[in-house]
């Protein structure tokens, strides 16, 4: 039985960055997040792929200890995304999206998953995210929901409902500013806290992340990388490693949360060093621990 | 005799932000930097004002222990800047600039200043900055030069010479990206290190600052402020408090530098809480120490 349930996309990505390109490689938010989580706990995926999804990628996910009961295989093609990064490698331009089998996907949690204590909902339609929370047999210890500017622009009220119904609604700085109509991140974080949340986490990409509670703030740096090859999936790796570590520890107090954020930042930094999932495929737990500990020197004063 | 010599502008500013506005208040890079430095060491200013400069502001600077031998008073009007900040309070739009007496200013170091161990050169024409370094009787322990996109765009080669001739050339993230033509801040920092610098400091505004040496990196957070009233002068306060603290300690090793950056970040964060110099006028050393120590909790994991 998985300890962390991860809902999101499993995809083929075609990616071009100033430092490399790749065609139709494994991607998707649930893929990145569950592989990142697998370093710490057993994840289970809720997603869908087409009949074109290769056996060897199924094997790769299984090798990572990921439970695939919740991964539906449907007639048709797997979700496809094509994106390109320019000089400013922080944001991708979407060139092509083919929803394929993901278009009519109505995610259903396998029976076993409904008892899980840790639930990660990848960025998607807020109604789907809310429905998945309802499918849980009991209230999980922690529900993290990711969101995206696309939904904030079109379904602001529904996204605010997700903020209320989840324990942590992950967003990046520009999304937080947009959702709460303020340029000030601490003010946005305070608005999140007002919506029944004990804590708010705002992702700041290459600038790290900010954790806010009623008591104070934690400023998590990003690892100062010299060679960013491809940032695709870094946000999902951050969320996956974060919830994977919390599930391993079995608790969600602030000190554990701070460590979880640093593990999220660590795994995300490795992910950016290779095209697609390349770096994560060979990543070892020892390497994660070494960089995690290296962060202590990076913030020491 | 001043321990820190600060060259830059002394100005009148008219400022409008979403949270307040003020007409013809005291401003200028040398003013902010020397007031910030004064919490730690005795600064001396090299600058110019017009005959319209009020006696009470002279008295304020004197009360802060700032040496004014190098502050020329010329017939005419003091430099004037009018700027406006929008929803994104991080960058100002310049509405009006009247150079006035600053237009033909040829800065001359008073004899006493030429022996100083710590020199801070506010953003200005690179030729002026290089000339001021030459005016020093002996090589100071530390020369920090600030720069600005305006000079990087128009006088790139001269700015690179300032990077070479100074110990630290301060720039913000977008300026560093522009100067070294890379989106990656760590790569920009490495380019700075190649130019005869032992260390590179890149300011990231609300995201803090990055210190890079051959050995590694230090990621300094900015204080997570809920109420930014006016960011004018924050970069100058950062530089001023940083060099003021180093001058007080009398050394520039990496551990001292890390602390100095955090004091810079601390004083800058207070400065942002009021219009113009308002907050710095009443700021107490105890408040600085309290917030500096609070940073330890903000980065703890």
Q: Give residue A198's pLDDT.
A: 85
Confidence of residue B183 (pLDDT cuts 50, 70, 90): confident
CA distance A219 to A236: 19
Q: What confidence score (pLDDT) does residue B18 get?
A: 87
Give the pLDDT score at A183.
Answer: 85
Q: Stretch B164-168: mean pLDDT, rounded?
A: 95
Strand partners, A118: A4, A142
Q: How confident is the model at residue B36 (pLDDT cuts 50, 70, 90)?
A: very high
Distance CA A127, CA A124 (A): 8
Distance CA B119, CA B243 (A): 8
The interface predicted TM-score of the complex, written ipTM, equals 0.91
Domains of chain B, with CATH numbers?
A: 4-299 (3.40.1190.20)
**Residue B115 touches partner A, C-beta closer than 8 Å:** no
Nearest CA in chain A to B190: A226
Does pLDDT of B90 surpass 90?
no
Q: Is A258 on the interface with B (CB under 8 A)?
A: yes
CB-CB under 8 Å, B89 with A218: no
What pLDDT sits at residue B52?
A: 98
B1-20: average pLDDT: 96
Residue A249: the pLDDT is: 98
Q: Mark the ranges of chain A whose per-residue pLDDT is less than 50.
A: none
Question: What pLDDT is stored for residue B298 in this prediction?
Answer: 97
* Contact between B282 and B260 (Cβ < 8 Å): no
What strands lie across the sheet with B92-98, from one edge to the other? B20-27, B11-17, B80-85, B92-98
The pLDDT of B170-191, averaged and rounded, is 93
pLDDT, average across residues B79-89:
91
Mean pLDDT of B175-188: 92
Determine the pLDDT at residue A232.
96
Query: Given pLDDT bands bounded at 50, 70 and 90, which one contains residue B12?
Result: very high
In this complex, is the C-beta atom of A73 within 8 Å of any C-beta atom belonging to chain B?
Answer: no
* B91 pLDDT above the threshold of 90: no
Q: Which residue of B has its CA nearest to A222?
A: B219
Question: What is the number of alpha carbons within 13 Å of residue B207 lying toward its C-beta?
Answer: 21
- Segment B10-16 shows an average pLDDT of 98
Q: Which of A101, A99, A96 is nearest to A82 (CA)?
A: A96
The distance of B89 to chain A (nearest Cα, Å) reads: 7
| Chain B residues in contact with A218 (beta carbon < 8 A) | 298-301
Per residue in B197-230, pLDDT (tens digit) is: 889 999 998 899 999 999 999 999 999 999 899 9
Question: Does the structure show a pLDDT above 80 at B88?
Answer: no
């Amino acid at each position: 039985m998985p300890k962390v349930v991860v809902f999101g996309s499993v995809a083929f990505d075609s990616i071009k960055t100033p430092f490399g390109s790749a065609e139709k490689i494994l991607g998707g938010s649930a893929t990145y997040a569950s592989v990142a989580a697998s370093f710490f706990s057993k994840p289970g995926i809720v997603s869908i792929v087409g009949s074109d999804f290769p056996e060897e990628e199924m094997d790769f996910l299984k090798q990572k200890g990921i439970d695939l009961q919740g991964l539906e295989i449907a007639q048709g093609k797997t979700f496809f995304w094509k994106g390109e990064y320019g000089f400013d490698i922080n944001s991708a331009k979407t060139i092509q999206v083919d929803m394929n089998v993901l278009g009519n996907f109505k995610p259903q949690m396998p029976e076993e998953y409904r008892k899980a204590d840790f639930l990660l909902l990848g960025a998607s339609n807020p109604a789907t995210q809310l429905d998945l929370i309802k499918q849980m047999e009991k209230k999980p210890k922690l529900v993290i929901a990711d969101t995206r500017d696309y939904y904030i622009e079109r379904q602001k009220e529904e996204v605010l409902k997700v903020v209320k119904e989840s324990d942590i609604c992950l967003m990046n700085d520009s999304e937080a500013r947009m959702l709460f109509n303020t340029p000030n991140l601490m003010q946005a974080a305070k608005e999140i806290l007002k919506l029944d949340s004990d804590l708010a986490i705002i992702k700041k990409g290459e600038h790290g992340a900010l954790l806010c509670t009623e008591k104070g703030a934690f400023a998590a740096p990003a690892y100062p990388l010299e060679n960013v090859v491809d940032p695709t999936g870094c946000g999902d790796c951050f969320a996956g490693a974060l919830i994977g570590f919390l599930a391993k520890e079995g608790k969600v107090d602030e000190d554990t949360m701070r460590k979880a954020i640093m593990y999220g930042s660590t795994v995300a930094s490795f992910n950016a060093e290779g095209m697609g999932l390349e770096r994560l495929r060979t990543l070892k737990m020892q390497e994660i621990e070494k960089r995690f500990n290296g962060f202590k020197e990076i913030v020491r004063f």
